[in-house]
């Protein structure tokens, strides 16, 4: 595996022949991911953020066509680029967990109204839930429901990569976790999801979070001050 760190904008990670790029948008520093195999021209776009032009530029530069737009949850900073991608590729499906479907088209629910933006996304094309298996762009992805930051939050686990890789949204961060002070948030629910779902994965599993740097399951189990196995934090 190679890991090249840019300046908060672009990270490239190659695992066997799979490449994952991280594109970070302002003002919330959310991470969007492009994942593809070098032998193919289709790809996955995960959580396209508030600067979709960066994503479109990378897709064009690499000659890639998105096979799906995967949304870990429906908060505005993780769905803001959906419209630009759907405008360019109308047949590309937007995929989101069942509990966050309404956030795509409701500025109050996706929290953008509070910032005076009123942002919406095109509606979902495919709704997923716990245990669903997706075969897209050469990737085998398993869906885990991981509420707590958002009631319908899901993560997508690429089990076929070595090591396994989690597109984790705003659940587990390096030495932190996603906020739980939103209307449908709960720290106790988030902690349970992390312990029951993510901490069952191998320690070398890579976590690609919605904000901040890459981490691993083992690192967070050992040292995360909020949800580490030795943490007594109760929220």
Instruction: Report the alpha-carbon distance of residue 51 to residue 189 in Å, rounded.
Output: 31
Assess if residue 71 is contained within a domain.
yes
Cis peptide before 30 (omega within 30 of 0): no
Instruction: Report the alpha-carbon distance of residue 4 to residue 16 in Å, rounded.
Output: 15
Assess if residue 53 is contained within a domain.
yes
Which pLDDT score, from 0 to 100, does residue 2 have? Answer: 38
Which pLDDT score, from 0 to 100, does residue 3 have? Answer: 38
Which pLDDT score, from 0 to 100, does residue 115 have? Answer: 86
Assess if residue 183 is contained within a domain.
yes
Assess if residue 105 is contained within a domain.
yes
CATH no. for residue 91? Answer: 3.60.15.10
Assess if residue 229 is contained within a domain.
no
Assess if residue 85 is contained within a domain.
yes
Question: Can you give the residue range of the structural domain that contains 158?
Answer: 2-223
Instruction: Report the alpha-carbon distance of residue 170 to residue 188 in Å, rounded.
Output: 15
pLDDT < 50 regions, the chain:
1-9
Assess if residue 58 is contained within a domain.
yes
In sequence order, the 6+-apart residues with CB closer than 8 A to the CB of 100 are 71, 73, 74, 150, 151, 152, 153, 154
Please state, as a whole number, how many other Cβ atoms lie within 10 Å of the Cβ of residue 176: 16
Q: Give how many domains the chain has, as a whole number.
A: 1
- State pLDDT tens for residues 195-231: 999 999 999 999 999 999 999 999 999 999 999 999 9
Among 22, 2, 8, smallest CA distance to 168 is for 22
Assess if residue 75 is contained within a domain.
yes
């Amino acid at each position: 595996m190679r890991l090249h760190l840019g300046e908060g904008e672009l990270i490239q990670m190659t695992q066997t022949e799979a490449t994952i790029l991280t594109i970070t948008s302002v003002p919330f520093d959310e991470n969007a991911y492009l994942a593809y195999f070098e032998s193919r021209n289709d790809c996955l776009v995960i959580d396209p953020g508030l600067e979709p032009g960066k994503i479109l530029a990378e897709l064009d530069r690499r000659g890639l066509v998105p096979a799906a737009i995967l949304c870990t949850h429906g908060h505005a900073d993780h769905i803001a680029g959906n419209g630009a991608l759907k405008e360019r590729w109308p047949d590309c499906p937007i995929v989101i967990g069942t509990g966050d479907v309404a956030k795509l088209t409701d500025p109050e629910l996706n929290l953008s109204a509070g910032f005076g933006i009123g942002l919406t996304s095109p509606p979902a094309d495919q709704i997923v839930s716990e245990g669903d298996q997706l075969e897209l762009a050469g990737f085998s992805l398993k869906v885990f429901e991981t509420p707590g930051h958002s009631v319908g939050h899901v993560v997508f686990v690429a089990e076929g990569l070595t090591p396994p890789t989690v597109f984790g949204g705003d659940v587990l961060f390096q030495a932190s976790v996603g906020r739980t002070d939103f209307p449908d948030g709960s720290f106790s629910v988030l902690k349970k999801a992390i312990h029951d779902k993510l901490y069952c994965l191998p320690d070398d599993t890579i976590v690609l979070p919605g904000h901040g740097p890459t981490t691993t399951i083992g690192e967070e189990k050992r040292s995360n001050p909020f949800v580490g196995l030795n943490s007594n934090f109760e929220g």
